[in-house]
Structure 1
C-alpha cells in the first residue's frame, strides 16, 4: 500500500529529472563548435605529395549527437526513474509508517506506536505523536477509573438509602401499631401510662437515627471541601481521650493512654476527630466492667485496644457496612444504629489512610489500628 503522496512526489521528481535531461541536451547543441576546422593529414604516396582537407565540424558534432541521443536519453530516463523511485520512497516511507500507526491509534490500540528512527522533522513529528497518544491513553485510563469510582459511589448511595429506608421502617411500623392499638384500646394497650413512654422512646430513637443518617449523607457530600490543617496528633488524641476516660472510669473500666512519639499530620482535623470519637465510643460501649482499654501512639501508628468478646471472621467482613450490627448488638438501644464504623470507614478512605480492625493476638479483645 502506497500513499497518494508517493505518486505525487514520484511524478514531480521524475518530471524534474526529465526537464534537466532535455535542458542538458539543448545546452550541448548550444555550446558545440560552429566554425570549420582545418585538419592536416599526411598521406604518403609515390609522388611524396602532402594532402590537406577541411572538415565540417558542426555537422560532424550534430551527426554524432543525433546518433548517441536515443541511448543517452534512455540512460537518463532509467537513471531518473531509479532516482525518483528511491527519493519518493525515502520521503513517503516514514509518512506511510506514521499513517498506518495513526490509523491503529484511532482504534485505541494500546500497542500502537510509530517506529520511525530519524532525527529530522519527521522523526520529531513521530515522537510527538507517540507522546501525545500515550498522554491520551493515560487520560482515558484516568477517566475510566473516575467513571468506575463514580459508579461505585452512586451504588453505595443507593444501597445506603435502601438500607436506611429499611432501618427506619421497623420503628415506624412499631410506633404505628402501638398507637393504633392504643386508639382501639386493645387489651393491655388501653393502659396509656405504660405505652406512652414507649412511644416516646421510639420517637427519640427515630430522631436519633434520622440525625445519624443525615450526618452520614452530609459527610459523603462535604468530604471534598473540608479544610485541611497541620496539627499535633498527640494533642488531638489526648484531647479526645479525656472525656471517654472519665466515662470508662465511671463504668468501672481501666483506660490507659500511652503516647511514645508525637507527629504532625496534615488532615481535616474535625473529620479525624469524628472518626476517632466513634472508635473510642465503640471501645467504651463494648468493654465490660473491670476490663482494659488502651490507646497507644507510636511513630506513625495509632492503636485503640479494648478487651471484649472478639468478633467472628464473618462479622468482621460486614462490620463497616452501614446499619450493620453484630448479633450481640442487634438492639439499637444497646448496640447503636450501625453507622459508627461506617462513618469511620468513609472518613479514613477519603483521606487515604490505611487502617485495620482485628482481634488482638496477646489478649482477648479487638484492636483498631490507623497508619498515618
Structure 2
C-alpha cells in the first residue's frame, strides 16, 4: 500500500460537487511519479466509516437476536404456562381439564403424560364417589330393615318372638359381613394385608374347598366335582387367604347355578405356576358385564348379590387376595345361561414377601 499523504491533496470536483482528492507522490531516487486518488475523506476517515458501518450491523444483529430470543423464550414457555394453568385447574378439582398436545416431541410427551395423570385422577375420583354411594346404599338397606322391624315391635305390630329376633339377627350379621369385607378389601388394596406364607399344596387346597361345599351343593341339587391333572408343585402362600378365595368363588358359583347344574373345580400346571379353575353351568355373565365383574358392589344385570344375601364384595376380595400373592384372576363366559369360568393363576416360585407396612 502506498504511503499515506500528510495532506488531502487537490480536490476533484464534478459538476461542482466534491467527489475526492488527488495527490502526487514522488519516491526518492525514482523518476516515476505516483498518482493516488481516494474518496471524499482520508483513509482514516474511510476506516471510521467502515467501523461505523460494522457497528451498525452488529447493533442490528443484536436487536434481531434479542427479538428472536424473546420470541423463542415465549414459544418455549407457553407449553409450561399451559401446564401450570392445568395443574392449578386439577388442584381446584376440575378434573376434566386437559392440555393440548402440541409442540416438540418432548413437550408433547409431557402433555400426554399430564393428560393421562388427569384421566387417572378423574377415574379414581369417580370410583371414590361410586364407592361412597354404594356403601351408603348397602348400609342403608339393612339398617332400614332393622329400624322398621324394631319400630313395628315397639308399636305391637309384630310380636317379640324368637322368629322375629332371628330376622333381626340376620340383618346384623349382614352388616357385620359388609363391614369386615370393606375393611379387608381396603387393607388388600393398600398393600397392608398381612400374609402368613407357607408351603401349600394346590391339590389339597382345592380338595378341602370342594369337601367344604359338598353338602351345600348336594342339598341344592348341584353336582360338585374336582379334576386334578396330576402332581402339582407347591406354592408359597397364605393358605387361609387362598381358602377364602376358593370359598368366595364356590359360593358365587352355587348362588348362580340352578338345581341340576354342575360345578367343576380343576387344578393344572402352567408355565411358572399353577392354575385353579372354577367352572359352572349357571346363569352366565353378559359380555358387557365381564370387564366390571371384579369391581366392588358391581352387579351383573343389576340384580346380583343383593337379593341373594351377598355383600357385593366377594369377587373384588378374590382379585385383591390373588394379586396380593402376585397372581391374577380372569373370568370368561359364553353369555346368559352359558355358565362362567373363573381361573386363578398363582406362581409357584414366589419370593417371600410380606405385604404389610406394620
* Residue 305 of structure 1, aligned match among 256, 267, 278: 278
Residue 295 of structure 1: aligned partner: 266
Inter-partner Cα distance in structure 2 for 1:208 and 1:248 = 19
Inter-partner Cα distance in structure 2 for 1:290 and 1:367 = 14
Q: Tell me the CA shift for residue 254 of structure 1.
A: 0.8
Q: What SS does the corresponding residue of 1:107 show, helix, strand or coil? A: helix
Q: What SS does the corresponding residue of 2:179 show, helix, strand or coil? A: helix
Determine if contact 1:244/1:281 at 8 Å carries over to the other structure.
Answer: no
* Residue 219 of structure 1, aligned match among 148, 165, 188: 188
Q: What SS does the corresponding residue of 1:70 show, helix, strand or coil? A: coil
Residue 257 of structure 1: aligned partner: 228
Residue 155 of structure 2: aligned partner: 184
Larger radius of gyration: 1
Which stretch of the first structure deviates more once superposed, 302-311 or 314-323? 314-323
Name whichever structure is richer in helix by fraction. Answer: 1
Determine if contact 1:248/1:284 at 8 Å carries over to the other structure.
Answer: no
Determine if contact 1:228/1:268 at 8 Å carries over to the other structure.
Answer: yes
> How far does the alpha carbon of each residue in 1:66-94 deviate from its partner, in whole angstroms, 9 at most, with x for none?
75673856876787688778888999988
Q: Superposition pairs for residues 133-152 of structure 1, below 5 Å? A: 134=106, 138-139=109-110, 141-152=112-123
Q: What SS does the corresponding residue of 1:311 show, helix, strand or coil? A: coil
Residue 167 of structure 1: aligned partner: 138
Q: Which has the higher contact order (CA 8 A, sep 6+)?
A: 2
Q: Does 1:201 align with 2:176?
A: no
Determine if contact 1:255/1:293 at 8 Å carries over to the other structure.
Answer: yes
Inter-partner Cα distance in structure 1 for 2:143 and 2:42 = 109
* Residue 323 of structure 1, aligned match among 276, 279, 297: 297
Superposed CA RMSD in Å reads 5.0
> How far does the alpha carbon of each residue in 1:221-263 deviate from its partner, in whole angstroms, 9 at most, with x for none?
x23x66899999xx56445424212124343411223468769
Determine if contact 1:357/1:367 at 8 Å carries over to the other structure.
Answer: yes
Q: TM-score, normalised by structure 1?
A: 0.58
Q: What SS does the corresponding residue of 2:41 show, helix, strand or coil? A: helix
Q: TM-score, normalised by structure 2?
A: 0.60
Which residues of structure 2 form unaligned runs of 5+? Answer: 7-24, 80-99, 219-223, 347-358
